[in-house]
Structure 1
Amino acid sequence: MATGNGGRVTRTVRSLADRIQWRGPALLRVSVGAVFLWFGVLKFFPATSPAEGVAVRGATKLMLGLLPPDVTLWMLAAAETAIGLGLVTGVLLRVALIGFFVHMAGVFSTLLLLPGEMWQGDVPVPTLEGQYIIKNVVLVAACLVVAADEWSRTVPP
């Protein structure tokens, strides 16, 4: 029985899958980095980021109100931009990854620090702002793959 083009298609799909798997961590790194870079730069221009308000309120509460909101916004902008540049370029990647995970811990803490803004009443249903925070679990998963790839390069088997 002739297999026709089925074998060629299977080989092509496998080859494509192998290439994507091999380049996957780099694709994730650059993708997350581009998002961070974009959102970080937006924060340098007040009132352009839809997440600006909740980000500043959460960070201000996390830092016990020690810094004025405009300084907090500038620090968030600088941190997100630096993390984004590190991820996009791969320069100081480990520092960028550590910064990313620390930043994400702060982002997720907003779910607890601002419960009235994050949750609808007493039920575990997130508001739009809460959903904006929760979707970051995808970015965390992506950077876990990037970090595993990066650290596996120097750890002997």
Structure 2
Amino acid sequence: MGHTPNLFDRFEKLDSNINKWLVANSINILRFSMGLVFVGFGVLKFFNNISPIQSLATRTTNALTLGVFQGHGAMVFVATLECIIGLCFLSGMFLRVGVWLLALQMVGAMSPLLLYPAELFPGPVHSPTLEAQHIIKDIILIAAGMVIASTWTGARIMARPQSLRSTLSKRVPGVYQDMSTVPYI
């Protein structure tokens, strides 16, 4: 008599198939999503009074460029930068340039935390304003950019199938690599 898979075995097969799909597609989905976010937020900045951080971004860009970009020109600069980053990520072309521009843009995006801390964390308990929360969430964009940057020299996610049961009580399996075996030039 044949073996009838139980519910757990069926779920494990589904889990394995989903994992294979994620290994094959997640980096491209991440890159494309980042591109959409940057183009979307960049386009908003081309128009006056649409971006919720227009005032803060304008003042920050003015300060960081030592007055070279002021007023709406500062927003156009940031908008153009974000759209270029987004197009690099969406198309996959000039990705290395896009990641370096992302690094530059993130320095600017995180700068208000140092330039305007009293404004971003007011009150007796120093809770973050909506603008501060908007800036803090950029940490995830930095991490995503680092993942995408790791792929420009050919790094890929590798599947090492393991049973679901064997991984339940372990730390995230297969993610941590012995860095002593990675050659650096």
Answer with 1 or 2: which has the greater Rg: 2
Match of 1:21 in 2: 23
TM-score (norm 2): 0.76
Task: Return 5+ residue gaps in structure 1 as ranges.
Answer: none
Q: 1:151 to 1:124 in 2, by over 3 A?
A: farther
Q: Distance in 2 between matches of 1:114 and 1:35?
A: 25
Q: Distance in 1 between matches of 2:123 and 2:59?
A: 19
Match of 2:166 in 1: none
Residue 26 of structure 1, CA deviation? 1.0
Task: Return 5+ residue gaps in structure 2 as ranges.
Answer: 156-181
TM-score (norm 1): 0.88
Deviating above 6 A after TM superposition, structure 1's stretches of 4 or more consecutive aligned residues are none
Q: Distance in 1 between matches of 2:73 and 2:95?
A: 26
- Paired residue type of 2:70: P
Deviates more, 1:83-92 or 1:4-13: 4-13
Q: Distance in 2 between matches of 1:121 and 1:136?
A: 23
Match of 2:87 in 1: 85
Q: Is the 8 A contact 2:85 2:99 kept in 1?
A: yes
Which protein, 1 or 2, shows the higher relative CO under an 8 Å CA cutoff with sep ≥ 6?
1
Match of 1:114 in 2: 116
| RMSD of aligned Cα (Å) | 2.2
Residue 137 of structure 1, CA deviation? 0.5
Within 5 Å, give how 1:2-151 maps onto structure 2.
3-121=5-123, 125-151=127-153
Deviates more, 1:128-137 or 1:10-19: 10-19
The DSSP-based 3-state class of the residue aligned with 1:151 is coil
Size of the alignment, in residue pairs? 156
Q: Is the 8 A contact 1:36 1:81 kept in 2?
A: yes
Residue 51 of structure 1, CA deviation? 1.7
